[in-house]
Amino acid sequence: MKCPFCGHLETQVVETRVTDEADFIRRRRQCGACEKRFTTYERPEVNFPSIVKKDSRRTEYKRSKIQESMTLALRKRPVSTEQVDSAIERIEEKLLSLGLREVASSRLGELVMRELKKLDKVAYVRFASVYRSFEDIDEFKTLVDEVRR
C-alpha cells in the first residue's frame, strides 16, 4: 500500500480490527520511510446485475426492495426475520451465480416467488396475485389449486 504522505511503496499493518457489524476491516498502517500512520478499510465488492424493468428501464439491484416486498407478503405470518434474511441471501446468491450483467425483473420476481413458496404458502399467493396482476378470480383460483397440490 502506497503511503499517502510520502508516496513510499512499503507500509506495514500495525493493527487490524473487524467492525461491530463485520461488514469491513479497519487497518492501521505505518509507512516504512516517514513512519507516519494512516487507516485503510477493506470491504467486499459485490456487483449485482442491473434489473431490467418491463418498460426496458434499467435500475440497480436494491436488497431493500426485495425485503420490503417479502415483508409485505409475509405480514402477520409466522415467519421469522432470520428466515426472510436467509431467503434473500439465497436470491442474491442465485443472482450472482447467473454471472449476468442484467437480469429481467420478471426473473427476479420468479426467484422471490420460489423463496416465498418455501417459506409460507399464504405469502406466496399474496405476492403472486399482485406480481402476476390477476385480472379475474379464475386466475387466483388456479394459483390456489396449484399451491394445494
Note whether 61 and 102 are within 8 A (CB): no
pLDDT one-digit tens code per residue, 56-66: 999 999 999 99
Domain boundaries, given as residue ranges, for the chain: 11-42, 50-148
**Parallel, antiparallel, or unpaired: how do β-strands 11-18 and 37-42 relate?**
unpaired
> C-alpha angle 85/87/89, rounded to 5°?
70
Q: What is the pLDDT of residue 137?
A: 76
Residue 126 has pLDDT above 90, yes or no: no
pLDDT value of position 131 = 75
Say if pTM beats, i.e. exceeds, 0.85: no
**Closest-CA residue to 89 (of 67, 56, 57):** 67
